[in-house]
Amino acid sequence: MNLETLLKLNRVIRVIGFDDAPFERHSGEPVSIAGVVCGGTRFEGVVWGQVQPDGWDATDTLCHLLIGGKFLDQLHLVLIDGIGFGGFNLIDLPELASRLERPCVAVMRRPPNLSKIEQALRRLPDADKRLQILRRAGQIHAYPPFFFQVCGEEPLVIAHALERLTDCGKVPEALRLAHLIGAAVITGESGSQA
C-alpha cells in the first residue's frame, strides 16, 4: 500500500529515521549512525552503523543497514536528519530511494544557507562531486514547520506524513529518537537538542 493510501485510510505508517551521533571533528574516527524504526510515533526498533567523516559511504551504509535486514519490508518511508552525516558525507537521495524502493526524505529544522554550505564544501576534496550529490537531492520544500527534500513521493503527501509522524514540536519522532539514542550511546546521556 502506498503512502497516500495509508494516509487516507488512517493506517499506521512505518518509518525509519537516521541521525548521526555526536562526533569529534578532525579526529578521523568513524561517526556512528542511529536508525530508529517507529510505527507512527511508537518506537519499534533500532539499527546502528558507522560512516567516515566527510567521506563517501553514507548512502551505502544506510542501504547495508536495511537491505536484507528485518525492517525494510515493513517500512513505508525513510527519513534522514539533513542530507549529510559526519560533516559532509552526503546521502545521494535519488540513489537511496531507488535502492531501497521507498520514498526517502531529508528533513531539516530550518531552510539551509546554501551559499555557506557551498563554501564549506569547496574546502573539501572533490568539491564538485559533493555539490552534484547535494543538487541531486532536489528542491527544498517548505511546509512549516517542516522543510525537506524528497525522492520517490509528492511533497504534499510527505508533508501530511510528517505531521502524522510527529508527536510534538517540529521533528518526526523517529528522527527525534535517533538523535537522543545516538547522543546517549556516545556521550552517556541524551542531548537536549532533539
Q: How confident is the model at residue 186 (pLDDT cuts 50, 70, 90)?
A: confident
Residue 102: Cβ within 10 Å count: 21
Structural domain contains residue 96: yes
What is the tens place of the pLDDT at every residue in 93-104? 999 999 999 999
148 inside domain: yes
Tell me, yes or no, whether 194 lies in a domain.
no
Domain count for the chain, please give it.
Answer: 1
Full strand arrangement of the beta sheet holding 104-108: 42-51, 31-39, 14-20, 77-81, 104-108, 146-151, 141-143
Question: Within 10 Å of residue 86's Cβ, how many Cβ atoms?
Answer: 22
Q: Is the pLDDT of residue 61 over 70?
A: yes
Is the residue at 193 inside a domain?
no
When the pLDDT of each residue in the chain is averaged and rounded to a whole number, the result is 94
Mean pLDDT of the region 171-190: 93
The CATH number of whichever domain residue 177 belongs to comes to: 3.30.2170.10
Lowest mean pLDDT among 63-67, 145-149, 186-190: 186-190
Mean pLDDT of 138-164: 97
In a domain, 20, yes or no: yes
Beta strand 42-51 pairing with 31-39: antiparallel
Q: Which amino acid is at 76?
A: H
**Span 102-111, pLDDT tens digits:** 999 999 999 8
Q: Is residue 174 part of a domain?
A: yes
Q: Which domain holds residue 151?
A: 3-187
In the predicted model, what is the mean pLDDT of residues 156-162?
98
CA distance 34 to 136: 24
